[in-house]
Chains A and B, each alone.
Chain A
Amino acid sequence: MTVETKLARFDGVDLDIGSRIAPVEVAYETYGTLNAARDNAILIVHAFTGDAHAAGICPEDGKPGWWDNMIGPGKAFDTNKYFMICSNVLGGCRGTTGPSSINPATGKPYALSFPGITIADMVRLQHMLVKHLGIERLLAVAGGSMGGMQALEWAVMYPDMVASAIPIATTARHSAQQIAFNEVGRQAIMADLNWNNGDYYGGDPPARGLAVARMVGHITFMSDDSMKQKFGRRLRDKETFSFDFSVDFEVESYLRYRGSQFVNRFDANSYLYITKALDYFDLANGYGSLAKAFEKTQARFLVISFTSDWLYPSYQSLEVVSALRGLNKDVAYCELESNYGHDAFLVDVGAQTEVVRGFLASTYREVTHQ
């Protein structure tokens, strides 16, 4: 299945901060077919550094989508049954308007003149896209990590448009530890002289800072166990230590490689803006409590966490579940066994496939019987 990324253009989007980005563009992909009743649409929301290319093969570089193991014919999100939509988030750098986009007012990239954004702003833009595609109600909004936050936000912001939400490996609010890791990433970028207060477009980007930020990120995505299995203390192409600060260990080589690859596809300013959006995220904001935030939701929820995920530990999913149960909302929850840490929702999808498939099927039955 080859897919193409499409572009939708809107007059502008209003932001939590009080300002407006105008105009605004959204890159998105769709898979499967919207049925006549328009009740089989599912919005996939991507994690921090993801993009609109969630499934299928990109014709330019031949790369599969980031959730290709979950989306496709016969898979958890079965494209024979459902119409799938995935868009790049606001503030991103993969086709949707972000700090690297040209500001029409100046003819130059926004850089740090791009306004501060939130998870709710991302959702607001997705909402415009969904409406633009002629969909009044989504069968599901699903995503992991930052995608899970957007799924929760969707259920709260647009209760009558969301039949079900599937937040995976996520939280209703960023913790001090999560903010701390993000801050290390931001500091690495800002400490790179090439960053130049965000004004680097046309010159050399802060590649080293961004690579270090990504290396920290990758550590938090894995588990002690998965790193032990993947790398152990194995040396990279050598028998003895070098004692010269070149790469000794496999794990060093891996992190350096991941860091260097990342700078080719990600913008440093997008990294700053999106990590801040993550850190600002607290679903209870403006409501007083999580329970108050969830009060008007009409969605069924499927909450999933993973045993070895220490970046978004299960207790954070349980906070969500507990608040929903306190309101007697329809919520299913399971903690899946995996060694893969936070990455599990992307790579260890066996059990996840079964629960998502069953949950969607029963939600679809419910929706069509109403």
Chain B
Amino acid sequence: MTSSPPARRKPFVREVLGRSDYAIIGDLIEPNTSVLDLGCGEGELLEWLAANKNVTGRGVEIDGTRVQRAIARGVSAYQGDIDQGLADYPADSFDYVILSQTLQETRKPLAALREMLRVGRNAVVAFPNFGHWSVRISHLISGRAPRTRIFPHAWYDSPNIHFFTVRDFEDLIAREGWKIERRYFLAGRHRGRLLANLMAEVAVYLVRR
């Protein structure tokens, strides 16, 4: 087996789905609203939302080079981690807070979600589904930490530190008393809701307080 490259913190939704997350998030975000994108990368999504939905956007990104590129394309991006990115803002600063790749990478996912729903009236959360059949099979057959298309990293160099499924996520949302407004399940280039916890590689949720 060849050694895997160091973990790249690419926006996985965009990597897996190409541009189709624009279509989904474009679906979710109402025009003329305000959006905070956590882990905004090079600001492509915010630029797209500004151009196509007249959205006022702000971005947070930990990687300095990406922040520079985001600013260079006219996006108001801030270099920092997600916790810092949220703490400064007063409540209700945004219509939407987007976390499109990294909930499974945050140290305290619940705290992150609570902060998102303090700062924003709505949260858009996307994450890779650990309940996908390929994950289950990989683990069952190999007896090792699963490695699949959406979880490609070796256990020792993975940025993912929390592993959860569609069902886990919905349980948590219910427990916190939040409301799921919209849900999308994706596998490859397909969308579908049948046996979501088994079939979805990526889930995208619109959650309201």
Contact = CB atoms under 8 A, between A and B. Distances in A.
Interface of A: 300, 302, 321-322, 325-328, 330-337, 351, 354-355, 357-359, 361-362, 365
Contacts of A358: 71-74
Contacts of A334: 64, 67-68, 71, 77, 79
Q: Chain B contact residues (Cβ within 8 angstroms of A): what range?
A: 10 to 19
A357 B72 contact: yes
Nearest to B50: A362
A172 B149 CA distance: 48
B8 to A, nearest CB: 19
Interface in B76-109: 76-80, 88-90, 93
Nearest to B57: A330
A328 B71 contact: no
SS of B interface (majority):
mixed
Nearest to B88: A325
A359 B71 contact: yes
B186 interface: no
B75 interface: yes
Nearest to A364: B74
Contact of B72 (A335, A336, A355): A355
B178 to A, nearest CB: 23
Given A337-B64, A354-B68, A355-B68, A332 B89 contact: no
A300 B89 contact: no
Contacts of B78: 321, 325, 331-333
A300 B58 CA distance: 12
Given A302-B71, A355-B71, A358-B71, A332 B64 contact: no
B79 A335 contact: yes
B74 A359 contact: yes
Contacts of A355: 68, 71-72
A321 B80 CA distance: 11
A236 B73 CA distance: 47
Given A321-B78, A333-B79, A359-B74, 13 more contacts: A302-B71, A325-B88, A326-B88, A328-B90, A330-B76, A331-B78, A332-B75, A332-B76, A333-B77, A333-B80, A354-B72, A357-B72, A361-B74
B95 to A, nearest CB: 12
Contact of B68 (A327, A328, A336, A361): A336
Interface string B137-173: 0000000000000000000000000000000000000
Contacts of B93: 328
15 contacts: A325-B88, A326-B88, A331-B76, A331-B78, A332-B78, A333-B77, A333-B79, A334-B77, A334-B79, A335-B79, A351-B68, A354-B72, A355-B72, A358-B74, A365-B74
Contacts of B75: 332, 362
Given A326-B88, A335-B64, A354-B68, A300 B76 contact: yes
Contacts of B69: 354
Contacts of B90: 326-328
Interface string B167-203: 0000000000000000000000000000000000000
Contacts of B80: 333
Contacts of A337: 64
The listed residue with most B CB atoms (<10 A of its CB), out of A332, A351, A358, A362, is A332
